[in-house]
Structure 1
Amino acid sequence: MADVKDLINLPDDNIDMIAATSVLQQQAADIRTKTINWASYMQSQMISQEDYNAISALDTAKAAYLQKNSAQAVKTLLNLLAHVSKDQTIQYILVMIDDLLQEERSRVDYFHEYAKHHKECVWGPFLNLLNRQDGFIVNMSSRILAKLACWGHELMPKSDLNFYLQFLKDQLTVNGEAFIKEQATLAQRVQTIVVHQHGHGHGHGHGKDQQSSKNNNQYSPNIAQQQQMNHLMKGERYREMTVEQQNANTDGWVPIPANEYIQSVARCLQMMLRIDEYRFAFVSVDGISTLISILSSRVNFQVQYQLVFCLWVLTFNPLLASKMNKFSVIPILADILNDCAKEKVTRIILAVFRNLIEKPTDPQVAKEHCIAMVQCKVLKQLSILEQRRFDDEDISADVEFLTEKLQSSVQDLSSFDEYATELRSARLEWSPVHKSPKFWRENAHRLNEKNYELLRILVHLLETSKDHIILSVACFDIGEYVRHYPRGKHVLEQLGGKQIVMQLLAHEDPNVRYEALLAVQKLMVHNWEYLGKQLEKESENQPQKGGSAPISGKA
Structure 2
Amino acid sequence: MSYQRLENVIQGSLDAGGEDISGKNLQTATSLLAAQANDVRSHRVNWQSYLQGQMISQEEFTFIREYDNATNKEQRDQVLQRYGPSAAKIFLSLMGHISKDQTVQYILTMVDDMLQEDHDRVSYFFDHAKKAKTTPWAQFLNMLNRQDKFVINQAARVIAKLACWGKEKMNTNDLNYYFSWIRGQLTAAGNEYLPASAGCLQMVLRYNVYREAFMETEGMGTIVSVLGSRCGFQIQYQLTFCIWMVTYNAALTAQVNKYNVIPVLADILHESAKEKVTRIILATFRNLLEKPEEKEIVQDNALAMIQCKVLKQLEVLEGQKFEDSDITDDIEYISEKLRDSVEGLSSFDEYSQEVKSGRLEWSPVHKSEKFWRENAARLNEKNYEMLKILIKLLETSKDSTVLAVSAHDIGEYVRHYPRGKHNIEQLGGKELVMTYMGHEDPTVRYEALLAVQKLMVHNWEYLGKALEQQK
Identify whether the pair has TM-score above 0.5, normalized to the shorter chain. Answer: yes
| 1:90 has 2:104 as partner | yes
What letter matches 2:32 in structure 1?
A: V
Residue 12 (structure 2) aligns with = 10
Residues 6-405 of structure 1 aligned to structure 2 (within 5 Å): 6-7=8-9, 9-12=11-14, 13=16, 14=23, 18-19=27-28, 22-61=31-70, 63=73, 64-67=75-78, 68-71=81-84, 72-174=86-188, 178-179=189-190, 259-405=191-337
How far the C-alpha of 1:92 sits from its partner, in A, is 0.4
Structure 1 contact 468–509 (Cα < 8 Å) conserved: yes
**C-alpha deviations, 1:44-103, integer Å up to 9, x for none?**
111111110111111110631433425243232121112111111100000111111112
Structure 1 contact 94–137 (Cα < 8 Å) conserved: yes
Residue 20 (structure 2) aligns with = none
**C-alpha deviations, 1:270-301, integer Å up to 9, x for none?**
00111111112112221000000000001100
Residues 335-484 of structure 1 aligned to structure 2 (within 5 Å): 335-484=267-416
Distance in 2 (alpha carbons) for counterparts of 1:112 and 1:95: 19
What letter matches 1:362 in structure 2?
A: E
Distance in 2 (alpha carbons) for counterparts of 1:510 and 1:529: 22
Structure 1 contact 17–306 (Cα < 8 Å) conserved: no
Distance in 2 (alpha carbons) for counterparts of 1:5 and 1:524: 61
Return closer, same or farther for 1:525/1:16 CA change in 2, 3 Å cut-off: farther
Distance in 1 (alpha carbons) for counterparts of 2:384 and 2:93: 60
Structure 2 contact 87–124 (Cα < 8 Å) conserved: no
Q: Secondary structure at the match of 2:51?
A: helix
How far the C-alpha of 1:111 sits from its partner, in A, is 1.8
Distance in 2 (alpha carbons) for counterparts of 1:17 and 1:152: 25
**C-alpha deviations, 1:220-257, integer Å up to 9, x for none?**
xxxxxxxxxxxxxxxxxxxxxxxxxxxxxxxxxxxxxx
What letter matches 1:10 in structure 2?
A: G
Return closer, same or farther for 1:20/1:443 CA change in 2, 3 Å cut-off: closer
Structure 1 contact 386–399 (Cα < 8 Å) conserved: yes
What letter matches 2:57 in structure 1?
A: S
- When structure 1 is superposed on structure 2, of 109-118 and 25-34 the one drifting more is 109-118
Q: What percent identity do the matched residue pairs reach?
A: 57
**C-alpha deviations, 1:97-144, integer Å up to 9, x for none?**
111111221212222123224544321111111110110111100000
Structure 1 contact 312–348 (Cα < 8 Å) conserved: yes
- When structure 1 is superposed on structure 2, of 461-470 and 151-160 the one drifting more is 151-160
Structure 2 contact 29–199 (Cα < 8 Å) conserved: no
Q: Secondary structure at the match of 1:26?
A: helix
What letter matches 1:94 in structure 2?
A: L
Which structure has the bigger radius of gyration? 1
What letter matches 1:127 in structure 2?
A: L
How far the C-alpha of 1:525 sits from its partner, in A, is 3.5
Distance in 1 (alpha carbons) for counterparts of 2:140 and 2:448: 57
What letter matches 1:66 in structure 2?
A: D
Structure 1 contact 482–526 (Cα < 8 Å) conserved: no
Structure 2 unaligned segments of length 5 or more: list them. 17-22, 463-471
What letter matches 1:486 in structure 2?
A: P
How far the C-alpha of 1:152 sits from its partner, in A, is 2.0
**C-alpha deviations, 1:529-550, integer Å up to 9, x for none?**
89xxxxxxxxxxxxxxxxxxxx
Residue 190 (structure 1) aligns with = none
Structure 1 unaligned segments of length 5 or more: list them. 180-258, 531-555
Distance in 2 (alpha carbons) for counterparts of 1:469 and 1:60: 67
Aligned residue-pair number: 448
- TM (norm. structure 1) is 0.78
- TM (norm. structure 2) is 0.92
Return closer, same or farther for 1:267/1:355 CA change in 2, 3 Å cut-off: same
State the Cα RMSD in Å.
Answer: 1.7
- When structure 1 is superposed on structure 2, of 418-427 and 11-20 the one drifting more is 11-20
Residue 536 (structure 1) aligns with = none
Distance in 2 (alpha carbons) for counterparts of 1:488 and 1:158: 45
What letter matches 1:69 in structure 2?
A: R
Please list every run of at least 4 consecutive aligned residues from structure 1 whose deviation after the TM superposition is greater than 3 angstroms.
Answer: 4-13, 15-18, 117-120, 527-530
Residue 205 (structure 1) aligns with = none
**C-alpha deviations, 1:3-51, integer Å up to 9, x for none?**
1444554353416664266211111111111021111111111111111
